Amino acid sequence: MTRGRLLAFMQRTPRWRVLRRAAHDTLSPRAVALHAPLQTSEARRLVHSLLTHPHLPVSAHSQRFSTSTAIQLLYGLAPLRMGGADPARRLGEVAGELFGSVKPGRSVVDLLPVLRGVVARSAFLRRKADVWYEQVPDLYTKFYWSASADSTQPCISVQLREGKYKDISEVDAAWLVGVLLLASQDTTRVALQYFFLAIVLHPQYAAQAQEQLDTVVGSRPPTFDDLPRLPWIEAILKEVLRWRSPTPLGKVASAGRKWGQADVTSGAGLAHAASEDICYGEYVIPKGTMIFANLWGMSHDPDLYPNPEQFDPSRFLLPSGELRPAPPDTHEDYLTFGHGRRACPGKDLVLRELWIAFAYVLWAFELKKALDDAGKEITPDPDAFVDVGAVVCPAEMGVRAVPRFANLEDLLEKARSEMK
């Protein structure tokens, strides 16, 4: 469907290396730090939207936050307003069609490989793929060239256009930015939803983080400069991504099913393939074998994380309150971003985006269970989810965001004016 242009699906070739290097350069820790003002502004807008639109579900707030941040950072577009038009909506729709088509078990070839040749010759499927592909290059290129070099905010599309990447074609660069949009948007949106779920169900950990916030920042909103002095926020971030990875793969099922009920016809994540025969112990994995990283299994390994089903951010803290050293080979306890040459290049960007969002929300609100029409609390099911393309989302839920400051709106406005 992608004609070999989507970075995540490319073979490891010189062209792949060039695009991968460009992604790493534009998303390096130093480059990502330049986006701190944008990410902080969006965290403030997230709090404001929770304050002014209290009856909307968590998914609406998470969607606006993740999309607004992504389109500004990648394309230099204006921030999204709650309920406003999303200029990148069609990009998300075509991505959903793509990732839906590559879900494990979606194709009969996954179950009956002997039919690979028959399916490959199917005129119907070729036409369907052609129709999909014809829409995408124009969309990606349109957004890529819409990015203005006059913006005061660093923009990745402009960085690629004006940078040192002379050996990257315009079309490849446009596709690269497009896939960064899809990846960052989905991961951030779903992780933020799981954050709300976890805190509503386990308010005692929010209280620990808020005690630390009150000591460090008081009535002013948190900033990235506060990160080293707020280990509880990072512990919550690590635990959210461990407890409910947006791309768990190995323990997922179809919509409405429970976590831990495996279904081979469904899965969130992208398949890999062995590039050569691999010897592993007594086993030989033949070249071309479909391989998945079972992130759920790794992050719920009781040898690494005791009582893995329990949401407990304190597992990442020493008795002194400092972050504990991560076990070997866990990528600083962030297994969800993958491994090796195919690890997510946007890890630092997403982690900073989530950190400032978590910090802002916990600084601003007590998060409580939503109420039904009779005024009774609705306890969300931590094991209910919806399997959507490349990610697994929690079931729809509401939240009561109770301000921790009587003058919260004034504090947000003051923070906004000081950032100008």
Instruction: Supply the DSSP string of 296-361, one letter for each residue.
Output: HHHHT-TTTSSSTTS--GGGGB-TTSSBPPPPTTSTTT-GGG--GGGS-TTHHHHHHHHHHHHHHH
Question: Is 279 marked as binding a ligand?
Answer: no
Instruction: Supply the DSSP string of 361-417, one letter for each residue.
Output: HHHHEEEEE-B-TTS-B----TTBEEEETTEEEEPP--EEEEESSTTHHHHHHHHHH
Q: How far apart are alpha carbons 104 and 253 in whole angstroms? A: 11
Residue type at 277 in one-letter notation: D
Residue 340: left if φ>0, alpha if ψ -120 to 50, beta else—which one? Answer: left
Nearest Cα residue to 154 out of 224, 67, 75: 75
Residue type at 345 in one-letter notation: P
Give 267's DSSP letter: -
Query: Annotated binding site: which residue ranges?
Result: 344
Query: Annotated binding site for heme: which residue ranges?
Result: 344
